[in-house]
Amino acid sequence: MSGFVFQWTWVLSLLLLALPLWWLLAYARGKRAELIQAMGGGMSTQRQLRDTLRIAAFVLLILALARPGYAPEKLSISRTGRDVVFAIDVSQSMLAKDVAPSRLEVAKQAVRDALATFSNERVSLVVYAGSATIMCPLTYDYDFVRYMLEQTHTRSADFGGTTLQSAVEKVVDQVFMADRAGVQDLVVMTDGGDHGSQMVKVAELLKESGVDLLLLGIGNPNEGSPIPIKDAEGVRTLLRDQDAIVYTKLDDSTLRDLAAQSTDAEYVPVGDQVFDLGQIYVEYLTGRDVSASVEGDGIVVYQEGALFFVIPALLLLLLSECWGAKGLQLGQAFVVVVCLGGLQEAEAATKQLTAQFAEATKLYEEGAFTEAEALFTEVAYYGDEASMTPSDLAAVQLNRGLCLLELSRAESEASAELGLSYAQQAQLAFLAAKRYTPQMERSGLRLESTSTWVAELQVRIAEEAEAQDEMQAQMEQLVELLQALLEAQQGLRKEVTESDVDRRHPKRAKHTPPPPPIVAPADAAAKAPIFVKSEGELKAEAERIHIGMQKMDTEMTPPTPEGVPPMESLLADPLKLMAKVPVAMERAAGLLGAWNSWPAGRAEQQVAEQLIEEILSLLGNNSSDESEGDEWDEMEDYEDFEYSDEMDESMMSSMPMEGDFAAGGEMQALPVPNYSAEDILVEEQGSLQFRQQQRAKANAGKVEKDY
């Protein structure tokens, strides 16, 4: 195979025009000389040299029109005339990076590789996840298909998930035509993991419509990979399901089963290896019918070399026009300026990149890794093999990877997920350095150590997620215990209320005899010890809950470095309130021992209930029952309360009040609220977020997976 050829050899026949053109120029020179001589002039016009330059420029332009080519490359080409539909899985699991740069990008590049080998095929593009979308109908316009490939992303499908059946139904019903049965191919690129397709029905649809299926499984089938996504604020994170990181791998068995159910299906598990879809498709067509074909197993593509002839031709024309005593000097100066200008521009670009590299290296040594990485990235973006050697480009990528690795280790202390993102970018940088200079050992060693670091971060992220789940479970258990304690306290207070009598006197007219004295219930003396015992049991339970909350607070509070004030934990305020609950219950138990002090005991019981309700509110639980506010009605109008003459004197002496109940020395007033409007809004926002999380978790089992 020749290294240099003219692709349009018939254009070379135009070179024969150079002879008559030279004769015409010579004839014109003769006539011009005769005219000058007749007019008495004798100045030489230098026309012959100028005409020579013009003829040379003409010859060079003809050679350029003949499409000179160099660096030939042979490409296999298929001219089958079949209809080919590329169906790409765009579910979120295709964002996994177990194949670089991601499964979805590898699938899109595979389609581009296949299009480079096509000639007579009509091509269509379909994407699918939970539903299918036709991005491009059957067409011969491969450039349009490539354009639609650029627009393909995980939001191209209307619904999340992975349902191959939706793609097959869409293709059979709306893309393929019945009169083309037998020469129609569906090429599916997916990582498997189908959610709800009936594979038997898929095989039947393909058979009925005469569609051949080529399945390509992309992804690592043995080791799961996390799915990087961006949240609503554009922050890179990992996909989670019920607060656990989702790991995805190639579902090899499902794809093999589908291929086994159809006689016209073939499955190729490309996994995480490099592959050429064009070559795979050519091999796949072996033995299949075609609608049209041409001989030949490939085409030879040359790099275009017309500029090597056009530029000298233009320079020769410029010199011919500037020829003369002064014109020659001007033309020569112009050529020198053009050449030197290009060299100076290239040299200036190289110097600028070199200066940026030196500045980035200095920043790296000073520990300014973020600024250094930005400069290395800029040098890598603008540098090319024309301005920098491969070893220089490899050094840029290696140093950029080192910056990213340092950022990963620094950020991983606060966020393992952010550290993982930096580490994966460092992997790609080291890999790029290895591509520029394969013999560079440092990049290979860094790739190995970075892979180990990535694995450590993935394990750490999984452990943190597990610890978070465990802490969430403990928090839910704490809320359940507090709710049970609140209900038990409310039930005991209600029982005390129902066992008592109405102590309020009806209003009476003047000069009417006083009402009879209030008499204690007959079973008051028997029930009082029971109430005291029950209240004591609730007090013991409250103390156990308090101890458990203290233990949780210790586990949830991370250690702080020396010199840094400790952060207030989530349970700081609930702990302060919970410490008061057993105290209120102990007071209530002391007051429930005597019938006369039952109202004060119920007041202390309600104080304990209000404390528990406030704790539940701080923890964001709004499921507690509404307080029975109407029970306070029984305690109003205590101005009319009178003690019975038959009350035992010892009972009177044991009561913690003198005269009016509200003036009792043991009755503790509720604290005056000191919350500002801002505090209340912040507290309510926290409660709202917690309730939303609880509702989302409760509904998680009803939502189908969308990855």
37-76 pLDDT per residue, tens: 776 655 555 678 888 888 898 999 999 898 888 878 766 5
Residue 607 lies in a domain: yes
Residue 185 lies in a domain: yes
pLDDT exceeds 70 at position 186: yes
CA distances from 538 to 346, 551, 612, 613, 621 (A): 85, 20, 12, 15, 21
Residue 187 lies in a domain: yes
Pairing of the two strands 236-238 and 228-230: antiparallel
Average pLDDT over residues 548-553: 86
- One domain for residues 419 and 472: no
196: left (phi over 0), alpha (psi -120 to 50) or beta: left
Per-residue burial over 54-71, b = 16 or more CB atoms within 10 Å of its CB, e = otherwise: bbbbbbbbbbbbbbbbee
- Comparing 155-159, 274-278, 411-415, 499-503, which segment has the lowest mean pLDDT? 155-159
The torsion angles phi and psi of 402, rounded to 5 degrees, stand at: -65, -40
Domain final residue, candidates 288, 323, 358? 323
The torsion angles phi and psi of 72, rounded to 5 degrees, stand at: -65, 145
- One domain for residues 387 and 485: no
Which residues, in sequence order, are bridge partners of residue 266?
214
CATH number assigned to the domain comprising residue 433: 1.25.40
Q: What is the pLDDT of residues 339-377, one digit of tens each?
A: 555 555 556 667 777 888 888 888 888 888 888 888 888
Neighbours of 634 (CB within 10 A): 14
- One domain for residues 582 and 612: yes
Domain that holds residue 617: 465-504+520-556+569-637+648-696
CB 158 within 8 A of CB 119: no
Amino acid at site 365: E
- One domain for residues 271 and 148: yes
- One domain for residues 33 and 123: no
Average pLDDT over residues 684-699: 53
CATH number assigned to the domain comprising residue 250: 3.40.50.410
653: left (phi over 0), alpha (psi -120 to 50) or beta: alpha
Number of separate domains in the chain: 4
Residue 334 lies in a domain: no
- One domain for residues 289 and 364: no
The three-state DSSP-derived secondary structure of 308-329 is HHHHHHHHHHHHHHCCCHHHHH
Average pLDDT over residues 496-512: 75
Q: What is the pLDDT of residues 155-166, one digit of tens each?
A: 887 766 667 888
Residue 454 lies in a domain: no
Average pLDDT over residues 413-441: 85
Q: Which pLDDT band, with edges at 50, 70 and 90, does 167 fall under?
A: confident
- Residue 568 structure tokens: 């207030």
Q: Give the three-state DSSP class for 118.
A: strand
Sheet holding 68-75: strands in order across?
A: 4-6, 68-75, 299-304
- One domain for residues 101 and 68: no
DSSP E strands in 386-516: the ranges are none
- One domain for residues 219 and 361: no
Average pLDDT over residues 478-502: 89
Closest CA to 663 of 643, 638, 683: 638
Cα torsion 417, 419, 423, 429: sign: positive
pLDDT at 699: 46
CA distance linking residue 431 with residue 444, whole number of Å: 8
Contacts of 551 (CB under 8 A, 6+ apart): none
* Chain length of the chain: 707
- Residue 558 structure tokens: 């991370």
CA distance linking residue 627 with residue 616, whole number of Å: 13
Give the percent of the chain with pLDDT over 70.
76
pLDDT at 707: 58
Residue 410 lies in a domain: yes
Give the percent of the chain with pLDDT over 90.
11
CA distance linking residue 76 with residue 201, whole number of Å: 36
- One domain for residues 274 and 292: yes
pLDDT at 581: 92
| Helix axis angle, 598-618 to 441-499, nearest 10° | 160
Residue 706 lies in a domain: no
- Comparing 112-121, 224-233, 423-432, which segment has the lowest mean pLDDT? 224-233
Radius of gyration of the chain (CA): 44
Q: Give the three-state DSSP class for 587.
A: helix
CB 610 within 8 A of CB 487: no
- One domain for residues 71 and 101: no
pLDDT at 78: 54
CA distance linking residue 595 with residue 520, whole number of Å: 7
CB 158 within 8 A of CB 133: yes
Closest CA to 335 of 326, 346, 322: 322
pLDDT at 488: 92
- One domain for residues 276 and 188: yes
CA distance linking residue 274 with residue 586, whole number of Å: 74
Mean pLDDT of the chain: 77
Closest CA to 247 of 702, 707, 701: 707
- One domain for residues 19 and 143: no
3-state helix, strand, coil in the chain (%, to 5): 60, 10, 30
pLDDT at 188: 92
| Helix axis angle, 390-411 to 325-366, nearest 10° | 30
Q: Which residue has the higher pLDDT, 544 or 32?
A: 544
Closest CA to 169 of 186, 193, 156, 181: 186
Q: Which pLDDT band, with edges at 50, 70 and 90, does 686 fall under?
A: low
The C-alpha angle with vertex 640 and arms to 639 and 646, in degrees rounded to 5, equals 125
Residue 429 lies in a domain: yes
- Residue 200 structure tokens: 């038997």
